[in-house]
Amino acid sequence: MISIAQLSSESWGALKGGDPVSLFTLRNAHGMKVAISNLGGTLVSWHAPDASAIFCSATTRPLNMLRPQLIWTT
């Protein structure tokens, strides 16, 4: 079975020098979702179903530890 994946991107802030940082999110037909930033290819989140089809996060680091060098541009 071939499943179709969807890729989306969004602005995720900027570095101190002004370079933009983006967040890319990949979703598949089974509901798995992975988010990766272009800041060194950092894995930001990974949500996947367990054996009971309950979704859980597979990442353990707090989000604020992933982007200490960013300047928020919200």
State the Cα–Cα distance between residues 67 and 39, nearest whole angstrom: 9
Give residue-wise pLDDT tens across range 7-66.
999 999 888 888 999 999 999 988 889 999 998 888 888 888 877 777 777 765 555 555
Distances (CA, A) of 53 to 8, 47, 59: 24, 11, 18
> What pTM does this model have?
0.70
Q: CA torsion angle for 17, 38, 10, 36 (degrees, to 10)?
A: -140
% pLDDT > 90, the chain: 27
